[in-house]
A and B are shown apart, each in its own frame.
Chain A
Amino acid sequence: MSTPTLRQLQGPAHTRIYAYGAARGENAVPNEDLVGPIDSSDEWIRQRTGIVTRVRADKTTDAIDLAAAAAQEAVEKSGVAPSDIDAVIVATISNPKQTPSASAIVADRIGANPAAAYDVNAACAGFAYGVAQADALVRGGLAKHVVVVGAEKLSDIVDPTDRSISFLLGDGAGAVVVGPSDTPGIGPTVWGSDGSKADAVGMNHTLTDFRDGSAPWPTLRQEGPTVFRWAVWEMVKVARQALDAAGVEASDLAAFVPHQANMRIIDEFAKQLGLPESVVIGRDIETTGNTSAASIPLATHRLLAEHPELSGGLALQIGFGAGLVFGAQVVVLP
């Protein structure tokens, strides 16, 4: 008996982002509300981070609520029926339940049940990782339409007395729908990791240490200067690789949307990248704070609302964070 030849899937040649959706924490939290426990001032925070206020969610709102709201908006704007969504990817580091995944619940809430669903843990690079996956899933024929969400409720994992990162962090979710396209809409992803710097940013304790009473509730910490050097001078190389891989120049960009880690990083990054003044830069951090996996789609959503002329233009997006991990790609804005 001869072994039959297997059929393998092949999808369309090109993909693009159809639409963005966003959900932000309900409460604006100005610097003044946070300066007491860190013995600081509004000026100190503004000067070091560029943040004036950040958004944080109500106690009863969780990362899944934010994710579902952002995904719903993206799906509605995309014109794709929820039942035609084949996969839902949620990038998050702040879903307080390890299992079930946020993505399965989000898929159900937006009417995409029984879409494939899984979470991605790639911190502030999570959205770029998700877009890379969605692009590959569609072009590989495994899915036709994919929802990618970056969603965080970081206010659950901050320490009010921490001067390294807590005061930067906010809550929110941003989402996109990725699907087939007649023309190239998502450039090759340049991604990677450097686990030798795992201690540079991340949680300071484990949940088991907390359970055993040997450590307080785990919260985020970072080695600011180390992260800053890596986030600018190493990530600029990755950004250039993403431009090269896509076959475009910095001067071809309409927008640059780096992870909203810190305004000082964004400014220095743009300077090192040598962006022409015509390129609009995402600076959502000023009023949203650093929302990890959600920051890129939130910043892009805002750019598209404030600069509708960017539609159809190219945006370079790059995420980088705890792992360390990074991911970058050039996309056509919907």
Chain B
Amino acid sequence: MAFTNDEVLAGLAELITDETGISADEVALEKSFTDDLDIDSISMMTIVVNAEEKFGVTIPDDEVKNLKTVGDAVTYISSNQS
């Protein structure tokens, strides 16, 4: 079953909170993972791997570099769901 964009955002916020302790309220589409949320590359990869499992998508290493904002991740996950 495909997730809606809102569901992906909410699920991603949960994963970000689990990994970093950042409040889910702070996770919004326009936020930059590094500049706004201060998520380092190792935490980012942990979130990516958990997101792959949660949403049933594959996010290759080369693609992770292009996910600058939460919105980028939501768009990528939504458009690559099987």
A264 at the interface (CB under 8 A from B): yes
0 or 1 for each of B59-70: is its CB under 8 Å from A? (1 = yes): 001001000000
| A223→B40 contact, CB < 8 A | no
Residue B44 interfacial (CB < 8 Å): yes
Determine the chain A residues whose CB is within 8 A of the CB of B44 once the complex forms: 225
Interface hit among A100-108, A149-157, A226-234: A226-234
Contact B40 A268 (CB under 8 A): no
Contact of B42 with A225 in the complex, beta carbons under 8 Å = yes
Q: Nearest-CB distance from A198 to chain B (Å)?
A: 14
Interface centre among A225, A233, A268 (most CB of B within 10 A): A225
The answer on a CB contact under 8 Å between B42 and A48 is yes
Q: How many residues of B contact A (CB 8 A)?
A: 10
**B81 contacts the other chain (CB 8 A):** no
Q: How far is the CB of B47 from chain A (nearest CB, A)?
A: 11
Taking CB atoms, residues of chain B closer than 8 Å to A264 are 42
In the complex, A264→B39 CA distance in Å? 14
State the Cβ distance, B41 to closest chain A Cβ, in Å.
5
Q: Which residues of B contact A229 (CB under 8 A)?
A: 45, 48-49, 61
The total of Cβ contacts below 8 Å across the A-B interface reads 25
In the complex, chain B residues whose CB is within 8 Å of the CB of A276: none
Interface residues of A in 202-228 (CB under 8 A from B): 223-226, 228
Q: Does A47 contact B (CB under 8 A)?
A: yes
Closest Cβ of chain B to A266, distance in Å, is 12
Q: Are A226 and B61 touching (Cβ within 8 A)?
A: yes
Partner of B46, one of A47, A48, A262, A268: A268
Q: Give the docked Cα–Cα distance between A232 and B48 (Å).
A: 13
Mark B13-51 against chain A: 1 for CB-CB distance below 8 A, else 0: 000000000000000000000000000111011101100
Docked-complex contact A48 and B40, CB < 8 angstroms: yes
Q: Which single residue of chain B is at the shortest CB-CB distance from A197? A: B61
Chain A, residue nearest B49 (CB): A233
Contacts of A223 in B (CB 8 A): 61
Which residue of B has the minimal Cβ distance to A262?
B42
* Interfacial chain B residues near A233, Cβ < 8 Å: 49
Other than the given A47-B40, A225-B45, A228-B42, 16 more pairs (CB < 8 A) read A48-B40, A48-B42, A224-B41, A224-B42, A225-B41, A225-B42, A225-B61, A228-B41, A228-B45, A229-B45, A229-B48, A229-B61, A232-B49, A233-B49, A262-B42, A268-B46
Nearest 10 pairs of A and B residues by beta carbon:
A226-B61, A225-B45, A225-B41, A264-B42, A229-B45, A228-B45, A228-B42, A224-B41, A233-B49, A48-B40
A-B contact list, 22 entries, CB within 8 Å: A47-B40, A48-B40, A48-B42, A224-B41, A224-B42, A225-B41, A225-B42, A225-B44, A225-B45, A225-B61, A225-B64, A226-B61, A228-B41, A228-B42, A228-B45, A229-B45, A229-B48, A229-B49, A233-B49, A262-B42, A264-B42, A268-B46
